[in-house]
Structure 1
Amino acid sequence: MSAQAQNILGIAKAEKGYQEGRSGGHWNNDQKYSDETPGLAWSDKMAWCATFVAWCAYKAGVAHLYPVTASCLTGVAWFKQRKQFSEYPAIGAQVFFGKNGGTHTGLVYDYDDEFVYTIEGNTNDSGSPEGDGVYEKKHRRKDAYVYGYGYPAFAEGIKSADPAWKDKAPQLPAEKPQPPAPKPAAAKIVALDPAVKPGVTHAQVAELQQLLIKAGYGPIKGAVTKFYGPETQRAVARFHDRNPAYRSGLHDPRIGPKGYVALQKQAGRR
Protein backbone atom coordinates (compact mmCIF):
# COMPACT_ATOMS: atom_id res chain seq x y z
CA MET A 1 0.00 0.00 0.00
CA SER A 2 1.32 3.45 -0.86
CA ALA A 3 1.89 5.97 1.92
CA GLN A 4 -0.75 8.29 0.45
CA ALA A 5 -3.36 5.51 0.36
CA GLN A 6 -2.48 4.49 3.90
CA ASN A 7 -2.86 8.07 5.09
CA ILE A 8 -6.30 8.74 3.60
CA LEU A 9 -7.63 5.35 4.71
CA GLY A 10 -6.36 5.93 8.23
CA ILE A 11 -8.22 9.24 8.36
CA ALA A 12 -11.38 7.66 6.94
CA LYS A 13 -11.34 4.74 9.39
CA ALA A 14 -10.93 7.10 12.31
CA GLU A 15 -14.36 8.57 11.39
CA LYS A 16 -16.13 5.24 11.78
CA GLY A 17 -19.10 5.77 14.10
CA TYR A 18 -19.61 9.46 13.27
CA GLN A 19 -23.30 10.29 12.77
CA GLU A 20 -25.13 13.22 11.22
CA GLY A 21 -27.71 15.32 13.05
CA ARG A 22 -31.37 14.56 13.68
CA SER A 23 -34.48 16.67 13.58
CA GLY A 24 -38.17 15.84 13.60
CA GLY A 25 -37.39 12.21 14.33
CA HIS A 26 -35.24 11.79 11.20
CA TRP A 27 -31.61 12.03 10.21
CA ASN A 28 -31.13 15.39 8.50
CA ASN A 29 -27.77 15.28 6.63
CA ASP A 30 -26.36 17.99 8.90
CA GLN A 31 -22.69 17.03 9.26
CA LYS A 32 -19.22 18.52 9.64
CA TYR A 33 -17.66 17.42 6.35
CA SER A 34 -19.25 20.06 4.13
CA ASP A 35 -18.17 22.98 6.30
CA GLU A 36 -14.64 21.61 6.72
CA THR A 37 -13.95 20.97 3.02
CA PRO A 38 -12.93 24.07 1.02
CA GLY A 39 -15.47 24.70 -1.74
CA LEU A 40 -18.18 22.39 -0.39
CA ALA A 41 -19.77 24.40 2.42
CA TRP A 42 -22.85 24.84 0.23
CA SER A 43 -23.51 21.08 0.33
CA ASP A 44 -24.36 20.89 4.05
CA LYS A 45 -27.67 19.13 4.78
CA MET A 46 -27.48 17.38 1.41
CA ALA A 47 -26.46 13.78 0.67
CA TRP A 48 -22.83 13.71 1.77
CA CYS A 49 -21.18 10.42 0.73
CA ALA A 50 -19.04 12.14 -1.95
CA THR A 51 -18.37 15.05 0.38
CA PHE A 52 -17.02 12.60 2.96
CA VAL A 53 -14.48 11.25 0.43
CA ALA A 54 -13.45 14.79 -0.55
CA TRP A 55 -13.02 15.69 3.16
CA CYS A 56 -10.81 12.63 3.76
CA ALA A 57 -8.66 13.57 0.77
CA TYR A 58 -8.37 17.15 2.00
CA LYS A 59 -7.36 16.08 5.52
CA ALA A 60 -4.80 13.63 4.07
CA GLY A 61 -3.23 16.31 1.87
CA VAL A 62 -4.23 14.53 -1.36
CA ALA A 63 -7.24 16.63 -2.41
CA HIS A 64 -5.71 16.90 -5.90
CA LEU A 65 -6.00 13.12 -6.32
CA TYR A 66 -9.78 12.92 -5.77
CA PRO A 67 -12.71 14.94 -7.13
CA VAL A 68 -13.76 17.79 -4.82
CA THR A 69 -17.49 17.40 -5.30
CA ALA A 70 -20.71 16.43 -3.56
CA SER A 71 -21.91 14.63 -6.70
CA CYS A 72 -21.18 10.96 -7.39
CA LEU A 73 -21.78 11.41 -11.12
CA THR A 74 -19.31 14.28 -11.22
CA GLY A 75 -16.80 12.09 -9.41
CA VAL A 76 -17.17 9.30 -11.98
CA ALA A 77 -16.71 11.78 -14.83
CA TRP A 78 -13.63 13.26 -13.11
CA PHE A 79 -11.85 9.91 -12.99
CA LYS A 80 -12.96 8.80 -16.45
CA GLN A 81 -11.71 12.03 -18.01
CA ARG A 82 -8.27 11.20 -16.61
CA LYS A 83 -8.44 7.56 -17.77
CA GLN A 84 -8.27 6.45 -14.13
CA PHE A 85 -11.44 4.38 -13.92
CA SER A 86 -11.69 0.59 -13.67
CA GLU A 87 -14.13 -2.22 -13.02
CA TYR A 88 -11.59 -3.74 -10.64
CA PRO A 89 -11.06 -2.64 -7.01
CA ALA A 90 -7.87 -1.04 -5.75
CA ILE A 91 -6.59 0.03 -2.34
CA GLY A 92 -7.50 3.69 -1.79
CA ALA A 93 -9.78 3.80 -4.83
CA GLN A 94 -13.09 5.65 -4.75
CA VAL A 95 -15.86 3.13 -5.37
CA PHE A 96 -19.11 4.21 -7.04
CA PHE A 97 -22.49 2.47 -6.76
CA GLY A 98 -25.80 2.38 -8.59
CA LYS A 99 -26.83 3.46 -12.09
CA ASN A 100 -23.84 5.03 -13.85
CA GLY A 101 -22.19 5.27 -10.46
CA GLY A 102 -24.44 8.13 -9.41
CA THR A 103 -26.15 6.64 -6.35
CA HIS A 104 -23.47 6.36 -3.68
CA THR A 105 -19.70 6.33 -3.11
CA GLY A 106 -16.98 5.44 -0.60
CA LEU A 107 -13.34 4.46 -0.22
CA VAL A 108 -11.86 0.96 -0.72
CA TYR A 109 -9.56 -0.16 2.08
CA ASP A 110 -9.21 -3.83 0.98
CA TYR A 111 -10.47 -6.49 -1.39
CA ASP A 112 -10.22 -10.21 -2.07
CA ASP A 113 -11.46 -12.51 -4.83
CA GLU A 114 -15.08 -12.21 -3.72
CA PHE A 115 -15.55 -9.02 -1.72
CA VAL A 116 -14.56 -5.38 -1.62
CA TYR A 117 -14.23 -3.73 1.79
CA THR A 118 -15.07 -0.05 2.10
CA ILE A 119 -15.47 2.97 4.35
CA GLU A 120 -18.54 5.00 3.45
CA GLY A 121 -20.23 8.16 4.70
CA ASN A 122 -23.98 8.83 4.66
CA THR A 123 -24.82 5.13 4.94
CA ASN A 124 -25.99 2.71 7.66
CA ASP A 125 -25.83 -0.90 8.74
CA SER A 126 -29.59 -1.43 9.00
CA GLY A 127 -30.52 -1.73 5.35
CA SER A 128 -32.52 1.48 5.48
CA PRO A 129 -32.33 3.81 2.46
CA GLU A 130 -31.76 6.66 4.92
CA GLY A 131 -28.03 7.03 5.64
CA ASP A 132 -26.97 8.33 9.02
CA GLY A 133 -23.20 8.04 9.49
CA VAL A 134 -19.79 6.58 8.63
CA TYR A 135 -19.52 2.79 8.50
CA GLU A 136 -17.20 0.04 7.29
CA LYS A 137 -19.03 -2.03 4.68
CA LYS A 138 -18.54 -5.17 2.60
CA HIS A 139 -19.90 -5.71 -0.93
CA ARG A 140 -19.67 -8.56 -3.38
CA ARG A 141 -17.43 -7.50 -6.21
CA LYS A 142 -19.83 -8.87 -8.83
CA ASP A 143 -22.87 -7.21 -7.27
CA ALA A 144 -24.70 -5.22 -9.97
CA TYR A 145 -24.91 -2.33 -7.50
CA VAL A 146 -21.11 -1.88 -7.72
CA TYR A 147 -20.51 0.33 -10.75
CA GLY A 148 -16.74 0.82 -10.73
CA TYR A 149 -13.69 2.42 -9.18
CA GLY A 150 -11.82 5.69 -9.59
CA TYR A 151 -8.07 5.29 -9.19
CA PRO A 152 -6.15 8.15 -7.54
CA ALA A 153 -2.73 8.78 -9.10
CA PHE A 154 -0.75 7.96 -5.96
CA ALA A 155 2.91 8.95 -6.24
CA GLU A 156 4.04 5.44 -5.25
CA GLY A 157 1.50 3.64 -7.46
CA ILE A 158 -1.69 1.81 -6.57
CA LYS A 159 -2.37 -1.78 -5.55
CA SER A 160 -5.10 -2.98 -7.90
CA ALA A 161 -6.90 -6.13 -9.03
CA ASP A 162 -6.91 -4.77 -12.59
CA PRO A 163 -4.42 -6.72 -14.78
CA ALA A 164 -3.98 -3.62 -16.94
CA TRP A 165 -2.67 -1.72 -13.92
CA LYS A 166 -0.24 -4.32 -12.57
CA ASP A 167 2.77 -2.22 -13.55
CA LYS A 168 1.38 0.65 -11.47
CA ALA A 169 1.56 -1.35 -8.22
CA PRO A 170 3.69 0.15 -5.43
CA GLN A 171 7.22 -1.17 -5.62
CA LEU A 172 8.83 -2.57 -2.52
CA PRO A 173 12.10 -0.85 -1.71
CA ALA A 174 15.07 -2.88 -2.82
CA GLU A 175 16.81 -4.57 0.05
CA LYS A 176 20.23 -3.17 0.67
CA PRO A 177 22.88 -5.87 0.60
CA GLN A 178 24.19 -6.47 4.06
CA PRO A 179 27.96 -6.40 4.46
CA PRO A 180 29.37 -9.74 5.54
CA ALA A 181 29.83 -10.07 9.25
CA PRO A 182 33.45 -9.60 10.23
CA LYS A 183 35.19 -12.80 11.04
CA PRO A 184 36.29 -13.00 14.64
CA ALA A 185 40.02 -12.71 14.99
CA ALA A 186 41.61 -16.06 15.66
CA ALA A 187 43.09 -16.40 19.16
CA LYS A 188 46.85 -16.39 19.19
CA ILE A 189 48.94 -19.29 20.43
CA VAL A 190 50.41 -18.70 23.86
CA ALA A 191 53.08 -20.47 25.89
CA LEU A 192 52.27 -22.82 28.74
CA ASP A 193 53.08 -21.53 32.20
CA PRO A 194 55.52 -23.99 33.81
CA ALA A 195 53.41 -23.91 36.97
CA VAL A 196 50.52 -25.67 35.21
CA LYS A 197 50.64 -29.31 36.29
CA PRO A 198 48.38 -31.90 37.94
CA GLY A 199 47.15 -30.97 41.38
CA VAL A 200 47.59 -27.18 41.09
CA THR A 201 45.07 -24.37 40.91
CA HIS A 202 46.03 -21.95 38.17
CA ALA A 203 44.17 -19.51 35.89
CA GLN A 204 45.57 -21.20 32.76
CA VAL A 205 44.00 -24.52 33.76
CA ALA A 206 40.57 -23.15 32.81
CA GLU A 207 41.94 -22.28 29.38
CA LEU A 208 43.49 -25.78 29.11
CA GLN A 209 40.14 -27.38 29.90
CA GLN A 210 38.36 -25.26 27.28
CA LEU A 211 40.93 -26.16 24.64
CA LEU A 212 40.68 -29.89 25.44
CA ILE A 213 36.90 -29.80 25.14
CA LYS A 214 36.96 -27.76 21.91
CA ALA A 215 39.53 -30.09 20.32
CA GLY A 216 37.41 -33.13 21.15
CA TYR A 217 39.13 -34.56 24.22
CA GLY A 218 36.27 -33.97 26.64
CA PRO A 219 34.09 -34.26 28.43
CA ILE A 220 35.68 -32.88 31.58
CA LYS A 221 33.25 -33.33 34.43
CA GLY A 222 32.87 -30.18 36.52
CA ALA A 223 34.68 -27.95 33.99
CA VAL A 224 35.41 -25.15 33.61
CA THR A 225 37.56 -24.62 36.73
CA LYS A 226 41.09 -23.53 37.60
CA PHE A 227 41.88 -26.87 39.27
CA TYR A 228 44.05 -29.41 37.41
CA GLY A 229 42.28 -32.42 38.87
CA PRO A 230 41.68 -36.04 37.84
CA GLU A 231 39.09 -35.15 35.16
CA THR A 232 41.52 -32.77 33.47
CA GLN A 233 44.26 -35.39 33.70
CA ARG A 234 42.03 -37.95 31.97
CA ALA A 235 41.34 -35.48 29.15
CA VAL A 236 45.09 -34.82 28.78
CA ALA A 237 45.66 -38.59 28.67
CA ARG A 238 43.15 -38.82 25.81
CA PHE A 239 45.11 -36.10 23.99
CA HIS A 240 48.33 -38.10 24.48
CA ASP A 241 46.68 -41.32 23.28
CA ARG A 242 45.94 -39.65 19.94
CA ASN A 243 49.14 -37.61 19.87
CA PRO A 244 51.83 -39.91 21.41
CA ALA A 245 54.68 -37.71 20.16
CA TYR A 246 53.85 -35.21 22.94
CA ARG A 247 53.78 -37.79 25.75
CA SER A 248 56.79 -37.75 28.10
CA GLY A 249 55.87 -40.94 29.97
CA LEU A 250 53.76 -44.05 29.59
CA HIS A 251 50.93 -42.58 31.59
CA ASP A 252 51.54 -38.87 31.40
CA PRO A 253 48.70 -36.72 32.87
CA ARG A 254 50.62 -33.50 32.35
CA ILE A 255 50.39 -31.36 29.21
CA GLY A 256 53.86 -30.28 28.10
CA PRO A 257 54.84 -27.01 26.36
CA LYS A 258 54.94 -28.57 22.89
CA GLY A 259 51.77 -30.54 23.52
CA TYR A 260 50.02 -27.34 24.65
CA VAL A 261 51.01 -25.62 21.39
CA ALA A 262 49.70 -28.58 19.35
CA LEU A 263 46.47 -28.62 21.37
CA GLN A 264 45.91 -24.92 20.67
CA LYS A 265 46.33 -25.49 16.93
CA GLN A 266 43.84 -28.38 17.00
CA ALA A 267 41.36 -26.09 18.79
CA GLY A 268 41.67 -23.49 16.01
CA ARG A 269 44.27 -21.07 17.26
CA ARG A 270 46.76 -19.63 14.83
Structure 2
Amino acid sequence: MAFSRTRYVTLLRSQAGYHEGRDPSGNWNNIQRFSPATLGLEWSQGQAWCATFTAWGADELNARDLWPITASCYTAVQWWKKAKRWSEYPVLGGPFYLGTVGQDHVGVVYAYDEDKIYTVEGNTNAGGSYQGDGVYLRVRPRRGPGSPYGYGVPQFDEGTISADPALGGTAKASVPVPAPPAPQVRVSLSRLQAAADRDPGLRQGGTTHPADVNPVEVALAAEGLLSKEYSHDGSYGSRTHTAMARWQRRYSDAKGLGWSASDCDGRPGRTSLTALGKKYGFAVIN
Protein backbone atom coordinates (compact mmCIF):
# COMPACT_ATOMS: atom_id res chain seq x y z
CA MET A 1 0.00 0.00 0.00
CA ALA A 2 1.43 3.38 -1.05
CA PHE A 3 1.95 5.99 1.67
CA SER A 4 4.01 9.07 0.85
CA ARG A 5 5.59 11.03 3.69
CA THR A 6 5.65 14.22 1.62
CA ARG A 7 1.98 13.96 0.67
CA TYR A 8 0.94 13.16 4.24
CA VAL A 9 2.83 16.01 5.86
CA THR A 10 1.77 18.44 3.15
CA LEU A 11 -1.87 17.47 3.67
CA LEU A 12 -1.70 18.00 7.44
CA ARG A 13 0.17 21.29 7.08
CA SER A 14 -2.45 22.55 4.65
CA GLN A 15 -4.92 22.50 7.55
CA ALA A 16 -2.90 24.95 9.70
CA GLY A 17 -5.21 27.78 10.72
CA TYR A 18 -8.33 25.61 10.85
CA HIS A 19 -10.43 26.06 14.01
CA GLU A 20 -13.06 23.95 15.72
CA GLY A 21 -16.51 25.37 16.45
CA ARG A 22 -17.91 27.25 19.42
CA ASP A 23 -20.90 26.58 21.64
CA PRO A 24 -23.67 29.17 22.18
CA SER A 25 -21.62 30.73 24.99
CA GLY A 26 -18.69 31.29 22.64
CA ASN A 27 -16.47 28.54 24.05
CA TRP A 28 -14.52 26.16 21.82
CA ASN A 29 -16.47 22.88 21.64
CA ASN A 30 -14.32 20.21 19.86
CA ILE A 31 -16.76 20.12 16.93
CA GLN A 32 -14.59 19.80 13.83
CA ARG A 33 -14.59 18.24 10.39
CA PHE A 34 -12.08 15.42 10.90
CA SER A 35 -14.20 13.04 12.99
CA PRO A 36 -17.14 12.77 10.55
CA ALA A 37 -14.70 12.54 7.62
CA THR A 38 -12.86 9.49 9.03
CA LEU A 39 -14.63 6.16 8.68
CA GLY A 40 -15.02 4.54 12.09
CA LEU A 41 -14.30 7.71 14.07
CA GLU A 42 -17.59 9.50 13.52
CA TRP A 43 -18.49 8.77 17.16
CA SER A 44 -15.55 10.91 18.37
CA GLN A 45 -17.15 14.21 17.33
CA GLY A 46 -17.09 16.62 20.27
CA GLN A 47 -14.14 14.91 21.95
CA ALA A 48 -10.40 15.66 21.98
CA TRP A 49 -9.32 15.26 18.36
CA CYS A 50 -5.52 15.39 18.10
CA ALA A 51 -5.27 11.65 17.35
CA THR A 52 -8.28 11.83 15.04
CA PHE A 53 -6.52 14.53 13.03
CA THR A 54 -3.48 12.34 12.37
CA ALA A 55 -5.71 9.36 11.51
CA TRP A 56 -7.77 11.52 9.13
CA GLY A 57 -4.64 12.33 7.13
CA ALA A 58 -3.75 8.66 6.69
CA ASP A 59 -7.36 7.82 5.81
CA GLU A 60 -7.45 10.56 3.17
CA LEU A 61 -4.41 8.96 1.51
CA ASN A 62 -5.90 5.44 1.65
CA ALA A 63 -3.28 4.33 4.19
CA ARG A 64 -5.58 3.09 6.96
CA ASP A 65 -3.58 -0.12 7.35
CA LEU A 66 -0.38 1.84 7.97
CA TRP A 67 -1.61 4.19 10.70
CA PRO A 68 -3.67 3.67 13.89
CA ILE A 69 -7.23 4.78 13.10
CA THR A 70 -8.17 5.76 16.63
CA ALA A 71 -9.14 8.84 18.64
CA SER A 72 -7.00 7.67 21.59
CA CYS A 73 -3.33 8.61 21.89
CA TYR A 74 -2.73 5.74 24.31
CA THR A 75 -4.29 3.21 21.93
CA ALA A 76 -2.20 4.60 19.09
CA VAL A 77 1.02 4.18 21.10
CA GLN A 78 0.13 0.52 21.75
CA TRP A 79 -0.58 0.06 18.03
CA TRP A 80 2.89 1.30 17.07
CA LYS A 81 4.57 -0.79 19.75
CA LYS A 82 2.69 -3.95 18.77
CA ALA A 83 3.76 -3.38 15.15
CA LYS A 84 7.37 -2.99 16.40
CA ARG A 85 7.47 0.45 14.82
CA TRP A 86 8.33 2.55 17.86
CA SER A 87 11.32 4.77 18.68
CA GLU A 88 12.56 7.13 21.37
CA TYR A 89 14.03 9.36 18.65
CA PRO A 90 12.34 11.76 16.20
CA VAL A 91 11.03 10.20 12.99
CA LEU A 92 10.47 12.43 9.98
CA GLY A 93 6.76 12.43 9.12
CA GLY A 94 6.00 10.26 12.13
CA PRO A 95 3.82 10.98 15.15
CA PHE A 96 5.16 12.10 18.52
CA TYR A 97 3.28 11.40 21.75
CA LEU A 98 3.25 13.43 24.95
CA GLY A 99 2.45 12.24 28.48
CA THR A 100 3.90 9.72 30.89
CA VAL A 101 2.87 6.86 28.57
CA GLY A 102 2.02 8.93 25.50
CA GLN A 103 -1.60 9.41 26.52
CA ASP A 104 -1.90 13.19 26.46
CA HIS A 105 -1.33 14.51 22.95
CA VAL A 106 -0.08 13.68 19.47
CA GLY A 107 1.18 15.58 16.47
CA VAL A 108 3.35 14.88 13.44
CA VAL A 109 7.01 15.81 12.97
CA TYR A 110 7.72 17.67 9.73
CA ALA A 111 11.33 18.58 10.68
CA TYR A 112 13.80 18.05 13.51
CA ASP A 113 17.30 19.03 14.54
CA GLU A 114 19.57 18.25 17.49
CA ASP A 115 17.41 20.10 20.01
CA LYS A 116 13.89 20.59 18.64
CA ILE A 117 11.06 18.99 16.70
CA TYR A 118 8.91 21.02 14.33
CA THR A 119 5.37 19.75 14.28
CA VAL A 120 1.86 20.06 12.88
CA GLU A 121 -0.83 19.35 15.50
CA GLY A 122 -4.60 19.29 15.82
CA ASN A 123 -6.53 20.32 18.94
CA THR A 124 -3.78 22.58 20.26
CA ASN A 125 -3.24 26.34 20.37
CA ALA A 126 -0.49 28.93 20.10
CA GLY A 127 0.74 27.98 23.59
CA GLY A 128 0.89 24.25 22.82
CA SER A 129 -2.07 23.17 24.98
CA TYR A 130 -3.23 19.55 24.94
CA GLN A 131 -6.80 20.90 24.70
CA GLY A 132 -6.71 23.68 22.15
CA ASP A 133 -8.88 25.09 19.40
CA GLY A 134 -7.35 24.29 16.04
CA VAL A 135 -4.50 23.10 13.83
CA TYR A 136 -1.15 24.78 14.47
CA LEU A 137 2.50 24.51 13.51
CA ARG A 138 4.53 24.20 16.71
CA VAL A 139 8.13 23.86 17.90
CA ARG A 140 8.76 21.52 20.83
CA PRO A 141 11.88 20.35 22.70
CA ARG A 142 13.40 16.96 21.95
CA ARG A 143 14.60 16.49 25.51
CA GLY A 144 13.63 17.53 29.00
CA PRO A 145 10.33 19.05 30.18
CA GLY A 146 7.66 19.02 27.51
CA SER A 147 9.51 16.55 25.30
CA PRO A 148 7.84 13.48 23.76
CA TYR A 149 7.39 10.10 25.37
CA GLY A 150 8.23 8.54 22.02
CA TYR A 151 7.55 8.33 18.30
CA GLY A 152 5.77 6.06 15.84
CA VAL A 153 7.69 4.86 12.80
CA PRO A 154 5.39 4.88 9.74
CA GLN A 155 6.06 2.72 6.71
CA PHE A 156 6.53 5.47 4.11
CA ASP A 157 7.25 4.94 0.43
CA GLU A 158 10.35 7.12 0.78
CA GLY A 159 11.76 4.97 3.58
CA THR A 160 12.47 5.94 7.18
CA ILE A 161 14.43 9.02 8.19
CA SER A 162 15.10 9.20 11.91
CA ALA A 163 17.59 10.37 14.51
CA ASP A 164 17.46 6.84 15.91
CA PRO A 165 20.91 5.22 15.40
CA ALA A 166 19.14 1.93 14.64
CA LEU A 167 17.19 3.66 11.85
CA GLY A 168 19.95 5.60 10.17
CA GLY A 169 20.82 8.19 12.82
CA THR A 170 20.15 11.25 10.65
CA ALA A 171 20.99 14.23 12.87
CA LYS A 172 18.51 16.65 11.33
CA ALA A 173 15.98 16.50 8.53
CA SER A 174 12.87 18.14 7.10
CA VAL A 175 10.11 17.23 4.68
CA PRO A 176 10.41 19.22 1.43
CA VAL A 177 7.69 21.83 1.15
CA PRO A 178 6.19 21.76 -2.35
CA ALA A 179 4.47 24.71 -3.96
CA PRO A 180 1.56 25.49 -1.67
CA PRO A 181 -1.82 24.09 -2.69
CA ALA A 182 -4.90 26.24 -2.88
CA PRO A 183 -5.70 27.33 0.68
CA GLN A 184 -8.10 24.99 2.47
CA VAL A 185 -9.32 27.76 4.77
CA ARG A 186 -11.87 30.01 3.07
CA VAL A 187 -13.14 33.35 4.32
CA SER A 188 -16.35 34.92 3.05
CA LEU A 189 -15.89 38.63 2.38
CA SER A 190 -19.61 39.33 2.71
CA ARG A 191 -19.81 37.53 6.06
CA LEU A 192 -16.69 39.25 7.30
CA GLN A 193 -18.13 42.63 6.36
CA ALA A 194 -21.37 41.76 8.13
CA ALA A 195 -19.40 40.87 11.25
CA ALA A 196 -17.40 44.10 10.99
CA ASP A 197 -20.67 46.07 10.87
CA ARG A 198 -22.45 44.18 13.65
CA ASP A 199 -19.95 42.86 16.20
CA PRO A 200 -18.80 46.22 17.65
CA GLY A 201 -22.37 46.83 18.84
CA LEU A 202 -22.68 43.49 20.61
CA ARG A 203 -21.66 42.68 24.16
CA GLN A 204 -17.96 42.06 24.75
CA GLY A 205 -16.92 39.03 22.69
CA GLY A 206 -20.20 38.87 20.75
CA THR A 207 -19.85 37.19 17.39
CA THR A 208 -21.68 37.10 14.07
CA HIS A 209 -19.57 34.87 11.78
CA PRO A 210 -16.70 33.60 13.98
CA ALA A 211 -15.56 30.91 11.53
CA ASP A 212 -14.79 33.63 8.97
CA VAL A 213 -13.35 36.08 11.49
CA ASN A 214 -10.97 33.60 13.18
CA PRO A 215 -8.49 33.12 10.30
CA VAL A 216 -8.31 36.89 9.82
CA GLU A 217 -7.65 37.47 13.52
CA VAL A 218 -4.86 34.87 13.48
CA ALA A 219 -3.30 36.53 10.43
CA LEU A 220 -3.49 40.02 11.94
CA ALA A 221 -1.87 38.72 15.13
CA ALA A 222 0.89 37.03 13.13
CA GLU A 223 1.44 40.36 11.36
CA GLY A 224 1.91 41.97 14.79
CA LEU A 225 -1.20 44.13 14.49
CA LEU A 226 -3.53 42.38 16.95
CA SER A 227 -2.80 41.16 20.45
CA LYS A 228 -2.78 37.35 20.72
CA GLU A 229 -5.21 37.77 23.60
CA TYR A 230 -7.88 38.71 21.05
CA SER A 231 -6.72 36.60 18.13
CA HIS A 232 -9.11 33.67 18.65
CA ASP A 233 -12.35 35.16 19.97
CA GLY A 234 -14.13 35.22 16.60
CA SER A 235 -15.46 38.74 17.22
CA TYR A 236 -14.83 41.53 14.72
CA GLY A 237 -14.80 44.14 17.48
CA SER A 238 -13.02 47.45 17.83
CA ARG A 239 -9.57 45.91 18.24
CA THR A 240 -9.95 43.89 15.04
CA HIS A 241 -11.20 47.03 13.25
CA THR A 242 -8.09 48.89 14.37
CA ALA A 243 -5.79 46.03 13.39
CA MET A 244 -7.38 45.73 9.96
CA ALA A 245 -7.08 49.49 9.42
CA ARG A 246 -3.39 49.25 10.22
CA TRP A 247 -3.00 46.36 7.78
CA GLN A 248 -4.81 48.32 5.06
CA ARG A 249 -2.48 51.27 5.62
CA ARG A 250 0.57 48.99 5.63
CA TYR A 251 -0.54 47.33 2.39
CA SER A 252 -1.31 50.66 0.70
CA ASP A 253 2.05 52.13 1.67
CA ALA A 254 3.95 49.03 0.55
CA LYS A 255 2.23 49.08 -2.84
CA GLY A 256 2.30 52.86 -3.21
CA LEU A 257 -1.48 52.99 -3.62
CA GLY A 258 -2.02 56.20 -1.72
CA TRP A 259 -5.23 55.07 -0.02
CA SER A 260 -7.05 57.68 2.04
CA ALA A 261 -8.11 57.36 5.67
CA SER A 262 -11.58 56.33 4.52
CA ASP A 263 -10.01 53.54 2.44
CA CYS A 264 -8.19 52.30 5.56
CA ASP A 265 -11.13 52.32 7.95
CA GLY A 266 -10.84 48.73 9.19
CA ARG A 267 -13.85 47.41 7.28
CA PRO A 268 -12.45 44.56 5.16
CA GLY A 269 -12.14 45.04 1.42
CA ARG A 270 -11.28 42.44 -1.17
CA THR A 271 -7.87 43.74 -2.28
CA SER A 272 -6.16 44.06 1.09
CA LEU A 273 -7.93 41.00 2.53
CA THR A 274 -6.81 38.85 -0.41
CA ALA A 275 -3.23 40.02 0.13
CA LEU A 276 -3.47 39.11 3.82
CA GLY A 277 -4.88 35.69 2.89
CA LYS A 278 -2.10 34.97 0.41
CA LYS A 279 0.44 35.72 3.11
CA TYR A 280 -1.24 33.68 5.85
CA GLY A 281 -2.97 30.81 4.06
CA PHE A 282 -6.65 31.56 3.54
CA ALA A 283 -8.66 32.21 0.39
CA VAL A 284 -11.26 34.98 0.03
CA ILE A 285 -14.61 34.01 -1.45
CA ASN A 286 -17.84 35.90 -2.32
Q: State whether TM-score is above 0.5.
A: yes
| Alignment RMSD | 1.9
Structure 1 residue 114 corresponds to structure 2 residue 104: no
1:206 is matched with: none
Deviation, structure 1 residue 20: 0.2
Q: 1:65 to 1:26 in 2, by over 3 A?
A: same
Match of 1:55 in 2: 56
Q: Deviating runs (4+, > 6 A) in structure 1?
A: none
Aligned residue in 2 for 1:164: 166
- Mapped to 2, the partners of 1:155 and 1:138 lie a distance apart of 26
Once the two structures are TM-superposed, the CA of residue 22 in structure 1 deviates from its matched residue by 0.5
Q: Gaps (5+ residues) in structure 2?
A: 171-286
CA deviation after TM superposition for structure 1 residue 127, in Å: 5.3
Query: Which residue pairs with 1:38 in the alignment?
Result: 39
Name the counterpart of 2:19: 19
* Pairs aligned (count): 167
Tell whether the 8 Å contact from 1:4 to 1:62 is kept in structure 2 after alignment. no
Structure 1 residue 117: Cα displacement: 0.6
TM-fit CA distance, 1:65: 1.4
- The corresponding residue for 1:218 is none
AA at the equivalent of 1:9: V
In structure 2, the residue matched to 1:4 is 4
Quote the offset at 1:62 in angstroms: 2.0
C-alpha distance in 1, partners of 2:137/2:64? Answer: 22
Q: Give the 3-state SS of the residue equivalent to 1:108 in structure 2.
A: strand
* Larger-gyration structure (1/2): 1
Amino acid aligned to 1:76:
V
Distance across 2 between alignment mates of 1:167 and 1:96: 20
From the superposition, tell whether residues 81 and 129 of structure 1 become closer, same or farther in structure 2 (CA, over 3 Å): closer
Q: Is the 8 A contact 1:121 1:134 kept in 2?
A: yes
Give the Cα separation in 1 of the matches to 2:11 and 2:139: 19
Q: Deviations over 1:228-269 (max 9, x none)?
A: xxxxxxxxxxxxxxxxxxxxxxxxxxxxxxxxxxxxxxxxxx
Counterpart in the other structure of 1:136: 137
Q: Which runs of 5+ in 1 are unaligned?
A: 169-270
Q: TM-score, normalised by structure 2?
A: 0.56
